[in-house]
Structure 1
């Protein structure tokens, strides 16, 4: 079973793609709540390339690396990756109101499905706000 989340960002696909794949942008939007942040990110956006986002609680109580390997990259359209024995797919599609992002991923076994959906959706919503705030 895959979990599916999505959002439509009011911005052109090239801007959305850039913000999703650029470490300088990732550290600005990659958090599920205000008490977390991403302190650093790296991206080698090619098949076999690695990515890593260091996610930490702002109070310093906990942190982890969200890391994996890209398994398929179609620039401007599709990213697929493996992380911790699980897989995810991110699709970018033009819509009349901007760019739709659809993310499907394998759930993990430690947390309830609803918590995983809420966390990933919160990060995607932060991404949407970040990109839309950059529009001029």
Structure 2
């Protein structure tokens, strides 16, 4: 099953794209809640290139790597990637209000659809707040 989340970022596409694809920026916004953070990120932004974000609870109780491989990239428009046996697509589209960012991903079985949607939406909301504060 596919799940989609989206937001609109009031910033130029170049700034939105750079914040989404640069490790130093990713470490600043890539979290679903205040008690987690991204301690490391790597990006090889090309088809066949790998990415990895190390996400950890701030209290040190747990952590995991969110990692995968880029399968399609259209600069300022689209990023597709696989992670494990799942895939995701990130679309970037200019609108009068800014850049609409939509993430569509394959669901998994550990967490409910609602929990997955809420978590990915929270991360995307943090992304929008971070980019808009950069201006």
What interval of TM-score do these two structures reach, taking the shorter chain for normalisation?
over 0.9
Runs of 4+ displaced beyond 4 Å: none
Correspondence 1:104 to 2:124? no
Task: State the partner residue of 1:6.
Answer: 6
Q: Report the Cα offset of residue 84 of structure 1.
A: 1.2
Query: SS of 1:24's equivalent?
Result: helix
Question: Which residue does the alignment assign to 1:124?
Answer: 124
Kindly report which structure 2 residues correspond to 1:1-136, keeping only aligned pairs within 5 A, or say none: 1-135=1-135
**What SS does structure 2 have at the residue aligned with 1:76?**
coil
In structure 2, C-alpha distance between the alignment counterparts of 1:47 and 1:94, rounded to whole Å: 23
Query: Runs of 5+ in structure 2 lacking a partner?
Result: none
Structure 1 Cα separation of the partners of residues 77 and 67 of structure 2? 21
Distance 1:124 1:134 in 2: 16
* TM-score normalised to structure 1 length: 0.98
How many aligned positions are there? 135
Offset at residue 93 of structure 1 (A)? 0.2
